[in-house]
Structure 1
Amino acid sequence: MQRQTRPLHSGWTLHCLGGPGARPGLPEAIAASVPGTVHTDLLAAGLIPDPYLDLNEITVDWVGHCDWRYDTRFNWQDDGADHVELVFAGVDTFAVISLNGIEIGQTANMNRTYRFDVRAHLRAGENHLSVTFQSAWKRGEVLASQYEPRPNNYPGPANLMRKMACNFGWDWGPTLVTAGLWQGLALESWSKARLARVRPEITLDGADGLVRLHADIDQAETALSLKVSVAGVTEVLPVSGGAGTAELRVKSPELWWPHHLGSQKLYPLTVELLAGEELIDSWHRDIGFRSIRLDTTPDDYGSAFTLVVNDAPVYVCGANWIPDDCFLPRVTPERYAERIEQARDANINLLRVWGGGIYETDAFYDACNRAGMLVWQDFLFACAAYPEEGDLPGEIEAEARDNIVRLMPHPSLVLWNGNNENIWGWFDWGWQDVLEGRTWGQGYYLDLLPRLVAELDPTRPYWAGSPYSGTMDIHPNDPNHGCTHLWDVWNDIGYEHYSDSVPRFCSEFGWQAPPTWATLTQSVHDNPLTPTSPGVWHHQKATIGNDKLLRGLKGHLPAPQTMDDWHFATQLNQARAIHFGVAHMRSHRPRNMGAIVWQLNDCWPVTSWAAIDGYGRKKPLWYALRDVYAPHLLTIQPRNDGLAVVAVNDRTLFWRGPVTIKRMRFDGTVLAEWTHWRLCADRLSAAELAIPADLATPGNKRDELLVATMHDSMAIHYFAEDIDLELPKAAAEFALERTGEARWSLTVQALSLIKDLCVFVDRLHPDASISDMLVTLLPGQVHEFTIECVGELSLSELTQSPVLRCANDLVQAASGAGN
């Protein structure tokens, strides 16, 4: 008999069992969805307001403090299977599971799969399945009484349990403490045997692809064999002692590459469990052949931190990934694919799945496999000290084993990371005095997790933390070793200080800005709408975040006087800050070999560091990333006492050609010009060219700029910040043409210097999008924008503030010349 799987996703009802603040008058039974959460069921029934709007997060806080029960009834007929198991892919989090009034098990970890043998408790005909959830807040109180206090950067008991940490709130996320069956569940029936665990180690051996497959098998006393197939190669081997192993060699397969370096060839890998000729279980995944290693070789600067894929050193143009919604079942495979495509379109080649969230569902990694998106996977520890006593170590080991084996077939996964900022916290955040010798997680990061990765997934590198220098003898945030976080810039000083150091690899740095105007006004209904009106303020979770937004403008842009100017100036400043930091780091390749900006996405509408806001709209930062992460980057950087043009080449062919540098007035007058006839950046490298001092020295720094061009790439350098520039009033000629049913072309011909031109089409139609932003035009230059918009557009609407904006506007308004 082949293993049979029957999903149990229908007919569920939800029941409130009470708790602090429980709302009176709730229906006795509420229709429930599985997969789902209590919040989304209540929202679908119209029993709570949308938590993402205005101050409703506070209004629905009671939901997380209540206990809840899910019930369903299903019919079952005995098919003679020896084993029938109830399998839960994801239970959030503390639940008692009962079948026909009999408790069959409990759960305490939302990050692992649970399997319960229910053969003896099923009955022919109707069966009643019940899952009763205890509030995570309530269980947190119990756990807090068991464990001595430990530091936690955020309120809540997340470090005492195995539940998504950001559920309890973060500096970009709301406190919406969920419960529910967040992934699917099923009855599995089998006899004789089943594949309990399949673990393929996939790598390269010279030019050949190599699959070392390990299978653990639950079985009765019966003769079994495994049939393993990939890329036209098949092996059949006997099973012995409940385990089977196979080694398959594929001659010269097509390799899987990150998207900027090659194609993403995937091969079906199939494992069949046979009893004689009878197929009794099977397993399959799409795999890719590639090698991966982490180069940490000591050198003149300290020690390297370089991902090497297929023996090619990869400069990581990355972004941190957080859960894409507070209510996880709403993140469908289609939504994953859309978000990852947005990342790829921004020239991002790696997503770091951050440790305060979840191990994403397979749909995320499948989409990354297809898109050629590398994945750095944190184990789930973030910004807190974690006990190493009680039930927690056992849960952590079970969770890690479960997810290492689940995720290891994915070629996109290239690094396991032990934690987010916890080693840094132990060094610098006063933990040692507070802990007084108590455990804080070091045993997980330096012992348990590396042992499990070495045992289960030896083909991939493990790193103990982000940040981490590679040893507890060197400060974890030492820029000369390992990976570094740069948060003093956003928190304390201006973004120009990104250039103060050259980290070997920067795995977190970021700058805040509000979401797009359409998202802001869709989620906040304050009247008047201001940076400090109640809803806008509530959707800013960072400590004194609005103050930091304004402080960050100082020295760069004028202080905004209106809501429209505040929105534009802070978004522009975010884009410039990250562009500046990344260009600096990339220009120092190979000393620096990676930048992972915080962050790609949001989980709800909020002022945050994201490039894509909580409703999936692109902020100006997204366009800045697309530019500064381009495989060919031309940038002008300070070097010694002068300036240099740097050509950064992340392609596999050399990039060479003439470089022309002009010093110009803002009115377009060329004051000096120089051409170097051949600048050559070898493949996967950077090349520098010193700019002659007379060319790099302005006569009037307020009214001059440098323009460097090489093929289709251009770099612009200003000799002062905008507040000190004599930016002219922007002038241009415009033309609008419909080019398709929902497509428009907007042509702009500059009559003056226009700096960082943006057209915010979402202010006219919330679903409209535009091809480019932050476009700088010299006098006489022309740029064509492509607009996707189902509704009607008019030239007059598109060319008026606050739809059409540029840096010139802000400077002119501050000087009084804009009126």
Structure 2
Amino acid sequence: MNFFEQPLSTGWAFKDRDDDAPDAWMPVTAVPSTVQQDLIANRKLLEDPYIGLNELKAHWVNEKSWIYRTELKRPEIPIGTKVDLVFDGLDTFASVTLNGQNILTSSNMFIGHRVDVTKLLLESDGPHILEIEFDCAQLKAQEVRSKYPDHRWDGFNGDMARLAVRKAQYHWGWDWGPVIMTAGIWRDVRLEVYSARVAELWPQTQLEPNHKTATVTVTAEIDAAISGNYTASFCLSLRGEEIVRQNFSVKVSSSKSVEAKLQINNPELWWPHGYGSQPLYDMSVSVSGNAKELHKMSKKFGIRSAEVIQQPDKHGKSFFFRINGEDIFCGGSCWIPADNLLPSISQERYRKWIDLMVKGGQTMVRVWGGGIYEDKAFYEACDESGLLVWQDFMFACGNYPVWPEFLESIQQEVTYNVCRLRHHPSIVLYVGNNEDYQVQEQANLTYNYDDKDPESWLKTDFPARYIYEKLLPEAMAKLSPSTFYHPGSPWGDGKVTSDPTIGDIHQWNVWHGTQEKYQIFDTLGGRFNSEFGMEAFPHMATIEYFIENESEKFPQSQVMDFHNKADGHERRLATYLVENLRMATDLETYIYLTQVVQAETMMFGYRGWRRQWGNDRQCGGALLWQINDCWPTISWAIIDYFLRPKPAYYTVRRVMGPLAIGVRREHHDWSVVHARPPTTSKYEVWVASSGREVLHGTVELRFLSVASGQDLRPPSVYDVTITPNGTTNMVSDGIIDHLTQPEAHVLAARLWVDGHVVARDADWPQPFKYLDFSDRGLEVKAHNGTTPGQQILTISARRPVKCLVFEERENVHLSDSALDIMPGDEQTVTVSGFSESHSPLKYRYLGQ
């Protein structure tokens, strides 16, 4: 018999386990789902927890247990076949019965399950009742915690009982997300009928240093219902054209591994976007019996080499990525789950997120360790678009326990997910945890890096070290040996996690910590900056979604504060606003001002750290916290829940362009000198390139009066030979004498290559609150583009304009925003998806 699959997506009902009323059972629209989604769909038993204060009304769901039930239609089961019931994900404490018999007990959300139900289905004609009871994860976690009073339950965010449960940790609430404890069939469930099947397929690639040859070692696992002789056929193809095929005769009793080695001459290499194309080879394995194909599995993979370069140098020890022998500055973002109700994230929505990151010039995304091992659609989109993936294991901000059953569950989790993900060329790094070593430091837990005895680690008050420095690296060595493993983020060879000379760091002394001025962000970096951020409000349309009452539409309303989960956010936002900008109380202006601060903060960080990539790789990359939100909220995200980019998205994109110019005067801390102006200021000009070729260009530097828009002195013009994949320093010792040139002025730089302006930058006098931005003489003219739905905006100004931001509308896309406009330098923005019936896009700028 050929392989047959029967999805079990419909026909389900659910109820509160403790509700015995005759009408307790309610219909389920479809699975995958969560109990919250199903309650919302049933007679409004639950209001949308994302609106207003409704999260509080949904907390009762967190404390309940639930039962899901369906009646299976027994498939045809020919002699010599078996039937497996397959669960790709159960959330979280699940007990499964079929016809009243327990067939599965699970306590790990991250593990898939396969159960042979052939005998049970053949015992009777039916009905065959499948039930899944989901025990309350919140109460269960507290119960488990109480059994281990000697463990140090230390950590950040949420109830520390979460550490005892293998469930997405952000479900317990985080400093950007609500407390929504989901339960349910959160990934696909199905019946599979087969006589033999390909159970696993793993293509490993080995690329020769000269890139002329690649060896693909393919391992296939064959499962059979009955012992017999089978043929395993391996086929490698690219874009539908077969390259090589190998057949093997195998005798299978229950399962059998088969390995083939295939050689590819002159392989097409997979590159990060911006460095080359992303060809994906297709590896398929079919299993046949009696000359009949029984099952086939295919996986797409890329051929590339990926290294993390850690070598001693004058700055300490490097930490950067090298792909196919090419050093890559990894500018990008950290990713959290895109929803609290995970099944609601469609494949299309994943694609939109990845597309935004790629269009935003981002090279890497970090899948954060407090969420989930993402859906295959996420990684497939990264593969196809060339977005590198830094993959955390799912441990975050805590001191995890290590009793034997828990370690066994973790071992199964790692095996299941690494095997699921290891063929993706986008994944270039696995990391043991997020900030657990910081918990160790702050809680003063025992950590002696020189002690290399793993058994002794289990006896300390920081036993989780055993997971990160023994269990995980040993699993990686077996399951995906060619992928680099890093014990934690941040982490650097056992040094203090804030050490800027080694490993990666999370730099939170802007916003958190010492709340440094964002203008000096680049001086606070390390060898790889894997977290940093600044909060900003989302756009007005997003706020109007979660605020129902007009009376709540002001910056400090209760609902507004409720949708900002960050501790002390009022003080921190106020500090950065009041230090830099003239304050406002109307909501739309306040929203805009927070966005200006975020955009400037991200620009200062990225611009300086990309410069430090330089030619000696002082900084290997920067991943901002965070790209996205899991609900409509106020957070560090630079794109909100509804995929609306904030201004910071555009400032990051410009700084991360293939060519970027930077101009900066030295920081003058007005708060320390009590607003006394400087007498002189040093300034610097440089060009950053990610290209592979030497380019020749021209740099123009203007000194423009903020008040009049006039050039205060003739522009400086420099011919520049641009260093490939590095930094070209143009001016490092420029001096501005404020006694002879006291007028506040902008340093405006442009880079010309082949007669075109390819990059701009502007350095403004700080702080903005001292500047008069009235009467800018801004003009925005709209013209029809060359394609339907396209509009071209031409923008000019008589005086310098700061942070011109255009309205974000659904399905309308901007080529640029958050612009600085200088007199005599007209800029254009292309708007796509614009209809003639649309009203003109609104916009605003600083001081408007």
TM-score (norm 2): 0.89
Q: Please tell me whether residue 196 in structure 1 is matched to residue 165 in structure 2.
A: no
Q: Is the 8 A contact 2:302 2:424 kept in 1?
A: yes
Shift in Å at residue 661 of structure 1? 1.7
| 1:342 has 2:365 as partner | no
CA contact under 8 A between 2:213 and 2:265: conserved in structure 1? yes
SS at structure 2 position matched to 1:678: strand
- List per-residue Cα deviations over 1:509-538 (Å, max 9, x = no partner): 011011111001111124321122121111
* Equivalent runs, 1:173-212 vs 2, <5 Å: 173-191=177-195, 193-205=196-208, 206=210, 207-212=212-217
- Bigger shift: residues 275-284 or 251-260: 275-284
> Contact (CA 8 Å) 1:417, 1:463: kept in 2 or not?
yes
Match of 1:214 among 219, 231, 243: 219
Secondary structure at 1:425's aligned position in 2? helix
Report whether the alignment pairs 1:511 with 2:534: yes
Hey, what's the Cα distance between the residues in 2 that align with 1:305 and 1:638? 28
Whole-angstrom distance in 2 between the partners of 1:440 and 1:53: 41
Residue in 2 aligned with 1:163?
167
Contact 2:540 2:588 in 1 (8 A): no
Determine the structure 2 residue equivalent to 1:782: 826
Q: CA deviation at 1:126?
A: 3.1
- Aligned counterpart, 1:30: 27
Q: 1:127 and 2:128 equivalent?
A: yes
Alignment equivalent of 2:805, drawn from 742, 758, 777: 758
Structure 2 contact 6–190 (Cα < 8 Å) conserved: yes
1:100–1:128 contact (8 Å) kept in structure 2: yes
Query: Residue 375 of structure 1 aligns to a residue in which SS?
Result: strand
Whether contact under 8 Å (2:228, 2:251) holds in the other structure is: no
Change in Cα spacing, 1:734 to 1:364, as seen in structure 2 (3 Å) is: closer
In structure 2, the residue matched to 1:732 is 778
1:812 maps to what in 2? none
Instruction: State the SS of the aligned residue for 2:229.
Output: coil
Residue 252 (structure 1) shift: 0.9
Partner letter of residue 685 of structure 1? G
The CA deviation at 1:313 is 0.7
Structure-2 residue corresponding to 1:815: none
**Cα deviation 1:188-242 (Å, max 9, x = unaligned):** 2222x43333222123124222211223333443233432121311222344782
Who is 2:405 aligned against? 391
Structure 2 residue 707 is matched with structure 1 residue 707: no
Q: Structure 2 regions of 5+ residues with no counterpart? A: 238-242, 448-457, 668-680
Q: Which amino acid aligns with 2:15?
A: H
* CA deviation string 1:322-375 (max 9, x = no partner): 101111111111111111001111111111100000001111111111111111
SS in 1 for 2:762: strand
Deviations 1:697-737 (A, max 9, x none): 67445521212222121221223321223434322234344
- AA matched with 2:744: D
Paired residue for 2:451?
A: none
Paired with 1:486 and 1:299, the residues of 2 have a C-alpha distance of 22
Between 493-502 and 320-329, report the one with greater CA deviation.
Answer: 493-502
Matched, 1:11 2:22: no
**What is the aligned counterpart of 2:368 among 343, 351, 354?**
354
Give the letter aligned to residue 760 of structure 2: M
Tell whether 2:675 aligns with 1:664: no
Cα–Cα, structure 1 residues 239 and 424, in superposed 2: closer, same or farther, change >3 Å?
Answer: farther
Looking at structure 1, the residues matched to 192 and 549 of structure 2 have their Cα atoms a distance apart, in angstroms, of 52
Q: 1:393-792 maps to which residues of 2 (within 5 A)?
A: 393-432=407-446, 437-469=460-492, 471-472=493-494, 474-491=495-512, 492-493=514-515, 494-528=517-551, 529-589=553-613, 590-637=617-664, 642-666=682-706, 667-673=708-714, 675=716, 677-690=718-731, 693-694=734-735, 699-700=740-741, 703-711=744-752, 712=757, 713-737=759-783, 742-760=789-807, 762=809, 768-787=812-831, 788-790=833-835, 792=837
Moved more, 349-358 or 665-674: 665-674
Looking at structure 1, the residues matched to 603 and 846 of structure 2 have their Cα atoms a distance apart, in angstroms, of: 16
CA distance in structure 1 between the partners assigned to 2:739 and 2:104 by the alignment? 75
Supply the distance in 2 between the matched residues of 1:290 and 1:475 (Cα, whole angstroms): 33
- Could you say if the C-alpha distance between residues 720 and 515 of structure 1 is closer, same or farther in structure 2, counting changes exceeding 3 Å? closer
Deviation at 1:449, TM superposition (A): 0.6
Q: Secondary structure at the match of 1:223?
A: strand
Rounded Cα–Cα distance in structure 2 between residues aligned with 1:427 and 1:614 = 33
Relative distance call for 1:698 and 1:117 in structure 2 (3 A) is farther
Matches within 5 A, 1:220-299: 220-231=226-237, 232-239=243-250, 242-275=256-289, 277-299=291-313
CA RMSD of aligned residues (A): 2.4
TM-score by length of 1: 0.92
CA distance in structure 1 between the aligned counterparts of 2:380 and 2:780, rounded to whole angstroms? 43
- Report the residue type matching 1:549 in the other structure: L
Q: Give the letter for the 2:140 counterpart.
A: R
Give the Cα–Cα distance (whole angstroms) in 2 for the partners of residues 394 and 57 of structure 1. Answer: 35
Aligned 8 A contact 1:294 1:306 in 2: yes
Contact 1:150 1:440 in 2 (8 A): no
Q: CA 1:539–1:498 in structure 2 vs 1: closer, same or farther (change >3 Å)?
A: same
Q: Distance in 2 between matches of 1:582 and 1:702?
A: 29
Aligned partners of 1:672 and 1:695 also within 8 Å? no
1:714 and 1:698 map into 2 onto residues whose CA distance is 28
Aligned to 1:70: 68
The verdict on how the C-alpha distance between 1:4 and 1:767 changes in structure 2, with shifts beyond 3 A counting, is closer
| Gap regions ≥5 residues in structure 1 | 810-819
**Distance in 1 between the 2:733 and 2:400 partners?**
56
Aligned pair in 2 of structure 1 residues 556, 376: CA closer, same or farther (>3 Å)?
Answer: same
Aligned to 2:453: none
Q: Distance in 2 between matches of 1:580 and 1:100?
A: 62
Q: Which residue identity does 1:42 align to in structure 2?
A: L
Counterpart AA for 2:490: P
Question: What does the per-residue CA deviation read over 1:15-55, in whole Å, with 9 as the maximum and x for residues that have no partner?
Answer: 11239xx9x99843233421111111111222211111000
- The amino acid of 2:477's aligned partner reads A
Asked if structure 2 preserves the Cα contact closer than 8 Å seen for 1:195 and 1:215, the reply is yes
CA distance in 2, matches of 1:436, 1:446: 15
> Is the contact between residue 201 and residue 458 of structure 1 (CA under 8 Å) also seen in structure 2?
no
Partner of 1:55 in structure 2? 53
Task: Give a deviation string over 1:404-425, Cα, whole Å, max 9, x none.
Answer: 1110111111111110000122
1:104 is displaced (CA, Å) by: 0.8
Q: Which amino acid aligns with 1:437?
A: T
**Cα distance in 1 for residues equivalent to 2:259 and 2:176:** 46
Structure 1 contact 88–185 (Cα < 8 Å) conserved = yes
Q: Does the 8 Å CA contact 1:526/1:533 hold for their aligned counterparts? A: no
What's the counterpart of residue 148 of structure 2?
147
Kept in 2: contact 1:663–1:696 (CA 8 A): no
Segment of structure 1 superposing worse, 411-420 or 739-748: 739-748
Q: How many residues align?
A: 793
State the match for 1:804 in structure 2: 843
**Separation in 1, partners of 2:355, 2:498:** 32
Q: Which amino acid aligns with 2:12?
A: W
